[in-house]
């Protein structure tokens, strides 16, 4: 890493030929004493950009509104804002963050259906119009606090295939939608969009088909009730780890086919989505150190069959970077910074966090070579629902984040910045979004 850094964005530029791995190795050598090491992240902002560009290329008809809750680190949000992403905000604080970065109102959705009246009023007074509702009670709140809103009606999806079932908490059903639309009509409020969220950790690309078909049904219902609904919001749930790239390709193909069936190119419908993990999961690598290790033998007469097991305690925790396990049922897997020898013996091992809480098990069982105090483990694909949700429980601070970017990526970003984010995109300018069309 060279000394040149960019203050506006808080990046360090990678020297030519340098990779994130090199930075991790460099940092390993920086601290010689094993006493004062702290866990830290290295984040490849180039990866965030690459993902964004890949999205624009493979789903050019779907404008991404990044779900800020997934990772609200300022540098991440700034980077995405600089290349023209929209944002799905869950609270007043997130909306304020977008305002401070100069994101046009038309690129902000106030998405979380569980809104506080004071925060709805804040959005209303600050030009944010697109808001999600999914029930009569929430509709009444929005109607009184923000009568000029442009509603997004969130429908429940069949999330039986998702890792985490949330449809019980969010979304109106097809049956109640009609009633809700009629209510909205009576209240003289506008509905412009139907949204769904196939739920975090969706492993079945096919889940998008019934969701798109249901949305189409609500579009027609809207027309019957007298609305012109013209925006389809696909929500989030797009996988973010590099190793599920194939799944993403499958999702894109499923979505394109469903568009052909339910929203043909002459329908004039515009489409957005709210990807979260997709944008940032793979950019983050976490480095932790072993602070305590405990050896156990499975039987008293320990023999060569490998009954010996190891418990490693590291300097991060379940309520820290590993909240993704609780929140998201994420499965994390350690990598060793030191490449093991080919004949290295592996032992059944478990990895624990540093909290005074029995819940703090990070990896229940994995095979690892014998490690020593001070040895480092890496966790890749750890950008989603980690730093954003991490607490300082027990007084342990969150790991420092080191942002890096290669110069070619930085230059690429400057080019996008100057052409893709025209300042004249203001207010409720949905018309700047591309009209839905099939590509490729
Ligand atoms: C959390 C959330 C997202 C982002 O989900 P990912 O699985 O990270 O893509 C998108 N939309 C809504 C409504 C959400 O609640």
For 108-137, the pLDDT digits (tens) are 999 988 888 999 999 999 999 999 999 888
Please tell me the pTM assigned to this model: 0.88
Q: Which of 72, 115, 233, 237 to mutate to test the pocket of ligand 1 (most atoms within 8 A of CB)?
A: 237
Q: How far is the CA of 73 from the centre of ligand 1 (A)?
A: 16
- Alpha carbon nearest to ligand 1 atom 8, residue: 276
> Two tokens at 140?
């009444």
Name the β-bridge partners of 195: 154, 233
Ligand 1 atom having least distance to the Cα of 202: 7
% of the chain at pLDDT higher than 90: 52
Per DSSP bridges, beta strands 284-297 and 376-379 are antiparallel
- List the alpha helices (DSSP H) in 293-406: 323-328
Q: Which atom of ligand 1 is nearest to the CA of 274?
A: 10
**Distance from the alpha carbon of residue 39 to the mean position of ligand 1, in angstroms:** 27
Tokens representing 139 are 């509709």
Quickly tell me which residue has 């680190």 as its tokens: 73
Instruction: Assess whether pLDDT exceeds 80 at residue 69.
Output: yes
Mean pLDDT score of the chain: 83
Ligand 1 atom, smallest distance to 238 CA: 9
For residue 275, the ligand 1 atom closest to its alpha carbon is 9
Closest CA to 278 of 372, 385, 437: 385
Measured from the Cα of 132, ligand 1's closest atom is 13
Q: Which pLDDT score is estimated for 427?
A: 34
The closest-lying atom of ligand 1 relative to the alpha carbon of residue 111 is 13
Is the pLDDT assigned to residue 166 strictly greater than 50?
no
Read off φ and ψ for residue 336, nearest 5 degrees.
-100, 140
What's the CA gap between 328 and 307, in Å, rounded?
32
Pocket test for ligand 1, best of 155, 163, 200, 383 (most atoms within 8 A of CB): 200
Contact 45, 71 (CB under 8 A): no
pLDDT higher than 60, residue 432: no
Predicted pLDDT at 422:
37
The rounded Å distance from CA 359 to ligand 1 centre is 26
Q: Is the pLDDT of residue 1 over 50?
A: no
The predicted structure's pLDDT at residue 434:
45
Query: Could you tell me if 40 and 401 are in contact, meaning their C-beta atoms sit under 8 angstroms apart?
Result: yes
Q: Would you name the residues annotated as active-site residues?
A: 356
- Locate 316 and state its tokens: 């991060």
Is pLDDT at 269 greater than 90 in this prediction? yes
Tell me the H-state helices in 43-173: 45-58, 74-82, 92-100, 117-125, 136-145
Cβ-proximal residues to 430 (8 Å cutoff; 6+ apart), any chain: 106, 192, 230, 231, 270
**Confidence category of residue 195, pLDDT binned at 50, 70, 90:** very high
Helix crossing, 74-82 with 407-420: angle to 10°?
A: 60
- Using CB distances shorter than 6 Å, the residues near ligand 1 are 67, 69-70, 88, 111, 197, 200, 235-238, 274-278, 384
Atom 10, ligand 1: residue with shortest CA distance: 236
Question: How far, in Å, is the centroid of ligand 1 from the Cα of 32?
Answer: 41
179-203 b/e (C-beta count within 10 Å ≥ 16 → b): ebbeebeeeebebbbbbbbbbbbbe
66 in Cβ contact with 235 (< 8 Å)? no
pLDDT at 388: 85
More confident position, 202 or 163: 202
Q: What CA–CA distance (Å, rounded) separates 172 from 194?
A: 11
What is the Å distance from ligand 1's center to 290 Cα?
33
Q: How far is the CA of 132 from the centre of ligand 1 (A)?
A: 13
Which residue owns the Cα nearest ligand 1 atom 3?
236
Work out the average pLDDT over 401-413.
86
368 band by pLDDT with thresholds 50, 70 and 90:
very high
**Residue owning tokens 């320990």:** 302
Q: What is the pLDDT of residue 424?
A: 34
Overall average pLDDT of the 81-89 stretch: 92
Most confident of 2-11, 285-294, 422-431: 285-294
64 pLDDT exceeds 90? yes
* Centre of ligand 1 from the C-alpha of residue 51, in Å: 16
pLDDT tops 80 at residue 171? no
């Amino acid at each position: 890493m060279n000394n040149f850094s960019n203050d506006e964005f808080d990046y360090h530029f990678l020297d030519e030929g340098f990779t994130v791995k090199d930075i991790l190795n460099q940092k390993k050598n920086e601290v010689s004493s094993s006493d004062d090491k702290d866990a830290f992240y290295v984040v490849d902002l180039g990866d965030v950009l690459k993902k964004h560009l890949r999205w624009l290329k493979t789903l050019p008809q779907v404008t991404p509104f990044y779900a800020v809750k997934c990772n609200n680190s300022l540098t991440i949000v700034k980077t995405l804002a600089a290349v023209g992403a929209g944002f799905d905000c869950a609270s007043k604080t997130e909306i304020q963050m977008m305002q401070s970065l100069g994101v046009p109102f038309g690129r902000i959705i106030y998405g979380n259906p569980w809104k506080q009246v004071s925060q709805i009023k804040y959005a209303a007074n600050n030009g944010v119009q697109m808001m999600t509702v999914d029930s009569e009670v929430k509709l009444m709140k929005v109607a009184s606090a923000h009568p000029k809103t442009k509603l997004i009606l969130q429908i429940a999806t069949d999330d039986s295939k998702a890792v985490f079932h949330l449809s019980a908490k969010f979304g109106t059903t097809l049956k109640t939608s009609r009633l809700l639309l009629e209510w909205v009509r009576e209240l003289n409020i506008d509905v412009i969009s139907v949204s769904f969220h196939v739920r975090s950790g969706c492993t079945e690309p096919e889940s998008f088909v019934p969701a798109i078909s249901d949305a189409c049904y609500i579009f027609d219902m809207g027309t019957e009730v007298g609305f012109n609904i013209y925006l389809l919001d696909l929500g989030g749930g797009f996988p973010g780890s590099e190793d599920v790239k194939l799944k993403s390709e499958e999702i894109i193909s499923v979505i394109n086919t469903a568009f052909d069936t339910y929203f043909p190119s002459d329908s004039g419908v515009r489409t957005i989505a709210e990807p979260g993990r997709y944008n940032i999961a793979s950019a983050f690598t976490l480095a932790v150190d072993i602070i305590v290790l405990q050896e156990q033998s499975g039987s008293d007469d320990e023999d060569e069959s490998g009954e010996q097991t190891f418990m490693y305690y590291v300097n991060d925790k379940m309520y820290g970077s590993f909240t993704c396990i609780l929140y998201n049922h994420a499965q994390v897997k350690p990598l060793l910074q030191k490449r093991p020898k080919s004949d290295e013996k592996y032992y059944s091992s478990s990895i624990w966090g540093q909290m005074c809480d029995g819940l703090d098990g990070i990896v229940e069982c994995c095979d690892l070579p014998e490690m020593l105090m001070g040895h480092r483990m890496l966790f890749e694909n750890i950008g989603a629902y980690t730093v954003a949700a991490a607490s300082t429980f027990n007084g342990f601070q969150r790991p420092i984040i080191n942002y890096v970017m290669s110069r070619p990526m930085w230059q690429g970003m400057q080019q996008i910045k100057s052409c893709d984010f025209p300042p004249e995109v203001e207010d409720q300018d949905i018309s700047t979004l591309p009209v839905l069309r099939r590509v490729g």
